[in-house]
Amino acid sequence: MAKIDRLNGCSDWIDLSVVERERTPRRLMGLGIRLHLAGLSLSNTVRELERFGVERSRKAVHDWVQKADLQPATDTTPNHISLDETVIRIDDHQYWLYAAVDPETNKILHIRLFSTTTTALTERFLRELPEKHDVEDAVFLVDGAQHLQTALRRHGHRFRYEKHGNRNAVERIFREIKRRTSSFSNCFSHVKPSTAESWLQAFAVWQNATN
**Inside any domain, residue 43:** yes
pLDDT(189) > 50:
yes
pLDDT(81) > 80:
yes
Average pLDDT over all residues of the chain: 85
Centre a 10 Å sphere on the Cβ of residue 191 and count the other Cβ atoms it contains. Answer: 17
Residues 87 and 185 in one domain: yes
Count of the separate structural domains present in the chain: 2
pLDDT(130) > 90:
yes
Residues 15 and 87 in one domain: no
pLDDT(169) > 90:
no
Task: Give 24's pLDDT tier (boundaries 50, 70, 90).
Answer: confident
100: helix, strand or coil = strand
* Alpha carbon distance 100, 28 (integer Å): 31
pLDDT at 13: 67
Residues belonging to the chain: 211
Q: Tell me the torsion sign for CA atoms 62, 65, 68, 71.
A: negative
**Inside any domain, residue 195:** no
**Inside any domain, residue 33:** yes
How much is the pTM? 0.83
Task: Give 182's pLDDT tier (boundaries 50, 70, 90).
Answer: low
Q: Which residues does 167 contact at the CB level (< 8 Å), separation at least 6?
A: 82, 84, 103, 141, 142, 143
Task: Give 163's pLDDT tier (boundaries 50, 70, 90).
Answer: confident
Task: Give 126's pLDDT tier (boundaries 50, 70, 90).
Answer: very high
pLDDT at 123: 96
Instruction: Report yes or no: 76 and 108 within 8 Å, Cβ to Cβ.
Output: no
Segments forming the whole domain that contains residue 23: 3-68
Of residues 72 and 7, more confidence is placed in 72
- Strand ranges in 11-92 using DSSP code E only, listed in sequence order: 80-90
Residues 105 and 49 in one domain: no
**Inside any domain, residue 95:** yes
Q: In this structure, what CATH number is given to the domain that contains residue 91? A: 3.30.420.10
Residues 85 and 110 in one domain: yes
